[in-house]
């Protein structure tokens, strides 16, 4: 904001908080307030240019086993760009655990195709419209989705649409949160009904397939926490989940 947009350094903290609360992300707030931003340059600067992925993130085989044991389609939804999402998943060793990603670029394309004015706004969590568009794209009802996120605010807006919500990173319930767990590693204990056979990911074929027979939910949507450089160890998470790219039918 200082180097690229010329915003006074003393105003940055106030503006980022103001924009986050009002628009969901700092980027969305800047665009809504008339700042002209090159999105690719922005994401390169704040993600690839600022984060040491190799140091901050390591493979997580136990989480991989858990995710691969969930016998329903799994997708990631993030406010971040595609490169950041894929880098995080690759470093964690989880990139093939999901059926697709929804990230900044394809969410904005999806929004534009449904009449959202992307020239003057950014569609991102916790805007309810993002959940509606993702569900429509996947062909499921929001009441059939389990949404995992580390932001209670993101979960609350999805919960208001009928989605089952799980807060990750906190064991305290809040409005709009159905279940709270310290980490995704606690999922087998907290939701044992989700897990099937370790190491297997079964494709979701039809609305009459085995995924519907074994589970009340037909799809799981994840926002995977990612370490943030410079933050204290106990707070090294970002509310930017990772989204799923869905191949054209």
pLDDT by residue, tens only, the chain of 249 residues: 999 999 999 999 999 999 999 999 999 999 999 999 999 999 999 998 899 999 999 999 999 999 999 989 999 999 999 999 999 999 999 999 999 999 999 999 999 999 999 989 999 999 999 999 999 999 999 999 999 999 999 999 999 999 999 999 998 999 999 999 999 999 999 999 888 644 443 444 333 333 333 345 677 888 844 333 233 333 333 333 333 333 333
pLDDT of residue 236: 30
Beta strands 100-102 and 219-222 are: unpaired
Name residue, tokens 């020239």: 119
Q: Is 217 helix (H, G, I), strand (E, B) or coil?
A: coil
H-type helices in 6-60, by residue range? 9-23, 26-32, 39-43, 53-56
Helix or strand run (H / E) with residue 66: helix 61-68
Sign, Cα dihedral of 226, 227, 230, 232: positive
């Amino acid at each position: 904001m200082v180097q690229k947009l010329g915003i006074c350094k003393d105003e940055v903290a106030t503006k980022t908080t103001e924009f986050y609360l009002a628009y969901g992300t700092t980027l969305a707030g800047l665009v809504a307030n008339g700042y002209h931003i090159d999105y690719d340059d922005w994401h390169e600067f704040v993600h690839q240019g600022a984060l040491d992925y190799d140091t901050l993130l390591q493979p997580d085989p136990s989480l991989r086993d858990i995710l691969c044991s969930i016998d329903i389609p799994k997708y990631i939804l993030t406010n971040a760009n595609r490169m950041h999402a894929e880098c995080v998943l690759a470093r964690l060793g989880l990139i093939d655990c999901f059926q697709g990603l929804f990230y900044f670029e394809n969410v904005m394309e999806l929004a534009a195709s449904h009449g959202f004015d992307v020239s003057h706004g950014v569609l991102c969590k916790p805007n309810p419209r993002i959940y509606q568009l993702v569900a429509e794209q996947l062909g499921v009802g929001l009441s059939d989705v389990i949404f995992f996120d580390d932001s209670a605010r993101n979960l609350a807006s999805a919960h208001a649409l009928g989605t089952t919500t799980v807060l990750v990173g906190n064991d305290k319930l809040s409005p709009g949160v159905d279940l709270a767990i310290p980490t995704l590693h606690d999922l087998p204990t907290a939701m044992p009904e989700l897990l099937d056979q370790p190491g297997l990911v079964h494709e979701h074929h039809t609305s009459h397939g085995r995924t519907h027979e074994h589970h009340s939910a037909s799809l799981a949507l994840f926002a995977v926490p990612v370490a943030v450089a410079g933050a204290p160890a106990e707070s090294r998470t970002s509310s930017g989940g990772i989204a799923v790219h869905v191949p054209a039918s």
